[in-house]
Amino acid sequence: MISFKNVTKKYDNFVAVDNITLNINRGEFVVLIGPSGCGKTTTLRMINRLIEPTEGTIYINGTDIGKLDAVELRRNIGYVIQQIALFPHMTIAQNIGLVPYLKNWPEKKRRERVEELLEFVGMPPAEFYNRYPNELSGGQQQRIGVARALAADPDIILMDEPFGAVDPITRATLQEELLRMQDKLEKTIVFVTHDIDEALKLADRIAIMKEGRVLQYDSPNQLLTNPSHGFVEEFIGRDRLLKQPEFINVIDVMIKNPVTILPERTLTQALEKMRQEKVDSLMVVDQSGRFMGLTTARDVLENFERAERVSEILTTDVHYVDEDANVSQVLAIMAQKRVGYVPVISGDNKLKGLITRSSLVNVLGQRLNT
Partner 1 sequence: MTLFNFFINNPDTVLRLALEHLQLTGSAILTAIAIGVPLGIALTRNKHLANIVLAVTSVFQTIPSIAFFGLLIPFLGIGKRTAVLVLFLYALLPIVKNTYTGIKEVSPFMIDAGRGMGMTNMQILRMVELPQALSVIMAGVRIATVINIGTTTIAAYIGAGGLGELIFSGIQLYRNEMILAGALPAAILAILADQVLGYVENALKPKGLRKKR
- Provide the binding-site residues for partner 1, judged by CB under 8 A: 48, 50, 71-76, 79, 81, 83, 85, 87-91, 98-99, 102, 132-134, 148, 158
Q: Which of 305, 308, 255, 307 is nearest to 282 (CA)?
A: 255
13 or 134: CB nearest partner 1: 134
Q: What is the largest CA-CA distance in the chain?
A: 68
Instruction: Give the shortest CB-32-to-partner 1 separation in angstroms.
Output: 16
Instruction: Give the shortest CB-102-to-partner 1 separation in angstroms.
Output: 6
151 or 274: CB nearest partner 1: 151
Report how far Cα 349 is from the mean position of its chain's Cα atoms.
32
49 or 201: CB nearest partner 1: 49
Report long-range pairs for 313-319 (Cβ below 8 Å, ≥24 apart): 313/267, 314/263, 314/284, 316/292, 317/293, 318/293, 318/294, 318/343
CA distance 49 to 248: 46
189 or 236: CB nearest partner 1: 189
145 or 258: CB nearest partner 1: 145
Q: Which of 87, 73, 150 is nearest to 113 (CA)?
A: 150
CA of 80: how far to CAs of 85, 93, 160, 192, 259, in Å? Answer: 9, 17, 6, 10, 33
Q: Which of 172, 274, 276, 275 is nearest to 284 (CA)?
A: 274
CA distance 203 to 217: 11
CB contact set of 225 (below 8 Å; sequence gap of 6+): 242, 243, 245, 331
162 or 343: CB nearest partner 1: 162
Instruction: Give the shortest CB-356-to-partner 1 separation in angstroms.
Output: 33
Instruction: Give the shortest CB-328-to-partner 1 separation in angstroms.
Output: 42
Instruction: Give the shortest CB-190-to-partner 1 separation in angstroms.
Output: 13
154 or 293: CB nearest partner 1: 154
Instruction: Give the shortest CB-220-to-partner 1 separation in angstroms.
Output: 28
- For residue 307, the SS3 value is coil
Instruction: Give the shortest CB-108-to-partner 1 separation in angstroms.
Output: 21
